[in-house]
Chain A
Amino acid sequence: MTFERRRRSIFELISEYMRAIEEEIEEQLREFFVDHPSWNPRTCTLEPLCNVFITPDEVVITADLPYAEKDTIEVKPLNDNLFEIKAKLKRKICFEDLGITHQEGEFSTFYCQVRVPVAVEKEERKISFKNGILEVRLPRKKKYEIKIE
């Protein structure tokens, strides 16, 4: 009886690892970002949809804030890479407004925390709000430079 053992190439192994990592990340995302309610009647808050884009020079956080009162929007750094977004709604929204009659509660504020995966100059943030979309621009920290000989 002979066994033929096919040696897998490094590319196959890398691709397998990448797939496993992707699956793990997806699972984590599902747990943290999807499979929990987007509302909290205890704190009267709704969780907005958010995005984080990373460019070579800056990190751009956006959030969709329908019904948000522009003057009440707050973007506060909680630490070096965690930001808190808060905005009051123009009017209180209750479950019935969303077509739900079997839950009770009303919401007055959008609230979320957004993690930024790279180092940023948190005090140099620029904030704008246009057509209901909040945009926060954060310059990336230039910690060191590699000199080209």
Chain B
Amino acid sequence: MSLTNYVRVVERTSIPSSAVLLFGMPDVGLVGVIAASHMISELKLEEVAYIDTDLLPPMIVLHKGTPHMPLRIFGNKELLLAVSEVALPANAIHRIMRSLVEWGEQKNVNIVVSIGGIPTPNRQEINEPKVFAIASNPQLVQWLEGKIEWQGRKLDKPFEILREGYMVGPYALVLQYCMQRNIPAVGLLAQAFYNYPDPHAAAMVLKELSRVIAVEIDVSQLIEKGEEIRLKARDIMKRTERELSKMRKAQEYDIPLYV
């Protein structure tokens, strides 16, 4: 192990094979982090691993008086959920996300699902944010469209696919590394505020997630606690926004030229 720029996943319990690996990373509207945090409490997920790295700021997070790593993996027998309590530094994101995907590959995960938001300029005018889906291969896109079966399952209702555009940030890398390694990966992105915490978008993503991984998650508490979450999440949102701007996140508004 090199003494600098290392990323290692330290397992605290035995990790199930063929699980679903979910990512709830700080991104627009903190949708992924808010959704992940709600999943952890609703499904009573336990910490199964943490990420030891010198690429994050020198910090720990205190919960109930004990220190925890800011980037951890929670789980049960079927699910693994990677979540970060700090904004991921733009210059560290490649190595961190690559290590997490590689770890998932070692654990032979069945599918990788990223949950997050897509910046929507007129978000305050939208009462029910739409959720768009993306996938790492054409077969999965067809599955998400409800056209074919995948692993013996067919969706009753199609997802709206994010067909053209740019993706920037942690989920762009998850998709890239999964595609390169032939790991099935899906992303669910709700219309969200760019830099305001968006619990409503997180609730919409969780509702749609239950169709992909067949796990029911009650979101009523999440909607009820929306204002409290928005108040608490101001600081991490501010820091995340700063890192997103370094990643040129605003490119997601750009119209691509197909060549």
Which size bracket describes the interface of B in this complex? 20 to 34
B234 close to A49 (CB less than 8 A):
yes
Please report whether the interface of chain B is mostly helix, strand, loop or mixed according to DSSP: helix
A33 close to B238 (CB less than 8 A):
yes
Interface string of B216-235 (1 = CB under 8 A from A): 00000000001110111011
A34 close to B234 (CB less than 8 A):
no
A67 close to B227 (CB less than 8 A):
yes
Q: Given the known inter-chain contacts A29-B242, A66-B226, A133-B124, please indicate yes or no for A49 contacting B231, CB distance below 8 A.
A: no
Q: Which residues of A contact B196 (CB under 8 A)?
A: 49, 51, 64, 133
Interface string of A17-32 (1 = CB under 8 A from B): 0000000001001100
From residue A94, how far is it (CB to closest CB) to chain B in Å?
12
Indicate whether B237 reaches chain A with its CB closer than 8 angstroms.
yes
Indicate whether A114 reaches chain B with its CB closer than 8 angstroms.
no
Closest chain B residue, CB of each to CB of A65: B230
Indicate whether A105 reaches chain B with its CB closer than 8 angstroms.
no
A34 close to B230 (CB less than 8 A):
no
Indicate whether B197 reaches chain A with its CB closer than 8 angstroms.
yes
Indicate whether A117 reaches chain B with its CB closer than 8 angstroms.
no
Expressed in whole angstroms, the Cα–Cα distance for A82 and B242 within the complex equals 23
B246 close to A46 (CB less than 8 A):
no
Q: Which residues of B contact A29 (CB under 8 A)?
A: 242
Cβ-closest 5 pairs across A and B: A66-B227, A66-B230, A64-B196, A133-B124, A66-B231
Point out residues on B near A: beta carbons under 8 Å: 124-125, 127, 193-197, 226-228, 230-232, 234-235, 237-239, 242, 245-246
